[in-house]
Amino acid sequence: MTTTEWITDIALILVVFRQLREGRLDWKSFLIPLGIVTFVAQQYLDSVPTGGNDLVLIGTLMAAGAALGIGGGLYTRIRVSGEHLLIKAGAVSAVLWVLGMGARMGFQLWTEHGGGDDVARFSLTHHITSDQAWVAAFVLMALTEVVTRLATIFVRGRLVDRGPQAQLTRPALSPDRGA
């Protein structure tokens, strides 16, 4: 693995540790992880192979990323403090995040240190056409995990009851509003 790969992998893992400490839910909460995965995608996602069972591999890892992301978003505590929303990743959220982000790093280390032949045999047996299919699958898995986690947190943040002061600023939702 290159230095850049180590830095980006570790940065993605550390993103959730930043949220183990309660902090404000703001644009930085969304932009930092999205910026990191955008960088990773630009660096490593040259194409999305569609031959053989490449799309099955990619879809399977993206589904795993979505499950991890939604789970991580659901196990992130969101509460109101004054006029601000605060978030704090719980232990389950942190474990899911590290599991997803660490899987990519672990797979790459394994293939570089003796597992490459096993992956080649698996790929041949299951009609996976190239190394790029594995790269695309893991990059898209990470991207999906980040986006679904953030989307889950965003939606949950919008649904948080902000108390009586929120009722004054939100329009009333009533079927007979015009009456």
pLDDT in tens, 121-154: 999 999 999 888 998 998 899 899 999 999 999 9
Q: How far apart are CA 47 and CA 44, in angstroms?
A: 9
* pTM score over 0.85: no
Cα dihedral sign, 30-33-39-42 = negative
Q: How far apart are CA 62 and CA 147, in angstroms?
A: 11
Q: How far apart are CA 12 and CA 18, in angstroms?
A: 11
DSSP H helical segments within the chain, as ranges?
3-18, 27-44, 54-74, 91-110, 116-125, 131-159, 164-169
Residue 143 CB contacts under 8 Å (≥ 6 apart), including other chains: 37, 40, 41, 65
pLDDT in tens, 35-92: 888 888 888 888 899 999 999 999 999 999 999 999 999 999 999 988 889 999 888 9
DSSP at 176: T
